[in-house]
Amino acid sequence: MIYIQTIEFPDAERETSFICGVKRTCYDSFYPFKVLSARGFERIDFEPITILCGGNGSGKTTALNVIAERAGVRRETICNRSAFFQDYVDMCILKLKAPVPGRSGIVTSDDVFDYMLNVRMLNEGIDRKREDIFEDYLDAKYSKFQLKSIADYDELKKVNASRRKTQSKFVRDELMDNVRTYSNGESAYRYFVEKIEEDGLYLLDEPENSLSPARQLELKRYIEDSARFFNCQFILSTHSPFLLSMHGAKIYDMDADPVDIKRWTELLNVRSYYEFFKDNESAF
């Protein structure tokens, strides 16, 4: 599915004209002006999966934030909004093929980090609660409880449960199911799965962060299936060779000057992985 068909960024001439028209001169930076135009990046023609690939400082996150702002999708963390950010966004021309669904959004590394931090804090709270449940288990298991009224019914259930279950099963059942069973990588993967619903436009900024190679491959398949079967469109920035290999993805190489469309196997980042493993092939 394609919701955003194209976006056109201002070229160097339009940027220069704008900057020259700014009367105040106390600004150290005109960001995001002069970032994308530095490599002649003036237009993106989108597919169901479009990827921006480039090193640090290449402008891929800038482009993603501009697209998100121009498309009006929701975000949970604040992006780098300079004094001229909105001026730049207003100069971009966005063409839609279909209305952008309301559930659409951008997911950044900060969003994932905050989610994992919340899970960790929840786990720490559960650790503290676990000690209390240990004590409840022992008190209930060896108590001489007798049911005297309906008000004692909950206590009766606890006593019966403690006598019927082992200590570990009692504690596990009393706590939230499976909260501690997820590592950071698993939590990060679950975050993407929870955020990505059918019929949506999703912008993902380096989603491979915190994901193991195996989890990256799972996310790759999930994105491919969501684009193919569930009417989703994806725009990603990534370094990951696993995500870059997504079937049917259109890849903009933002390290090229000017920015160019390439196959994933042509990218310098991917070639570095290939050459490393090729040089060490005998070790396998």
Classify residue 74 by its DSSP letter.
B
Please classify residue 48 by burial: count the beta carbons closer than 10 Å to its beta carbon, then call 0-12 exposed, 13-18 middle and 19+ buried.
Answer: buried
Q: What is the DSSP string of 23-61?
A: -----S--TTTTTSGGGT--EEE--SEEEEE--TTSSHH
CB 119 within 8 A of CB 182: yes
- pLDDT score recorded for residue 82: 82
**Average pLDDT value for residue range 176-190:** 57
CATH class of the domain comprising 4-110+200-283: alpha beta
- Please report, for the chain, the start and end positions of each structural domain, with discontinuous segments joined by +: 4-110+200-283, 111-181
Q: What's the predicted TM-score (pTM) here? A: 0.76
pLDDT: which is higher, 280 or 79: 280
pLDDT: which is higher, 54 or 175: 54
- pLDDT score recorded for residue 185: 52
**Average pLDDT value for residue range 176-199:** 69
User: Dihedral of the CA atoms 77, 82, 86, 87 (nearest 10)?
Assistant: -170
Nearest of 103, 102, 78, 101 to residue 194 by alpha carbon: 103
Residues in the chain: 284
pLDDT band at 176 (very low <50, low <70, confident <90, very high): very low
219-235 burial, b if ≥16 CB within 10 A, otherwise e?
bbeebbebbeeebbbbb
94-103, 133-142, 270-279: the lowest-pLDDT one: 133-142
First vs last C-alpha separation in the chain: 41
Q: How does pLDDT run across 35-90, given as a tens digit for each residue?
A: 999 999 999 999 999 999 998 888 999 999 999 999 999 888 777 678 899 999 99
